[in-house]
């Protein structure tokens, strides 16, 4: 990675019933993504509509694990559920992935 760029990515995944997907997407953006945008070096959100359920993925980019831990307040792989996640999500995720970024080939923001 280039000097000064993100060094780690934090990946969260959650699934909702299809009929609640649009409602959850709006809620997740307002309550979860907006605050994350203010702290992380970058944020991507992805959505996959399947038969009967929709999976959401949020990838946030951080300078290093220490910066991520400062945001999470403890273990950077620990889950921080939103207040209404239990209402929306099919199952509450137990952890997130924390991956070190290696190289980028032609990917731009």
Res. 2: pLDDT tops 50: no
Structural domain contains residue 27: yes
Structural domain contains residue 43: yes
| pLDDT tens profile 14-64 | 999 999 999 999 999 999 999 999 999 999 999 999 999 999 999 999 999
CATH number of the domain encompassing residue 28: 3.30.70.100
| Number of domains making up the chain | 1
Exposed, middle or buried by CB within 10 Å (0-12, 13-18, 19+), for 26?
Answer: exposed
Structural domain contains residue 94: yes
Q: What is the pTM of this model?
A: 0.87
Structural domain contains residue 46: yes
Domain that holds residue 78: 8-100
Q: Chain-centre distance of CA 81, in angstroms? A: 11
């Amino acid at each position: 990675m280039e000097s000064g760029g993100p060094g780690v990515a934090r990946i969260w995944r959650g699934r909702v019933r299809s009929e609640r997907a649009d409602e959850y997407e709006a809620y997740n953006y307002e309550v979860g993504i907006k605050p994350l945008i203010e702290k992380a070096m970058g944020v991507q959100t992805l959505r996959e509509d399947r038969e009967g359920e929709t999976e959401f993925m949020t990838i946030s980019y951080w300078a290093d694990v220490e910066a991520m831990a400062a945001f999470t307040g403890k273990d950077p792989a620990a889950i921080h559920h939103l207040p209404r996640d239990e209402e929306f999500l099919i199952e509450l995720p137990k952890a997130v992935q924390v991956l070190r970024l290696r190289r980028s080939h032609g990917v731009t923001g």
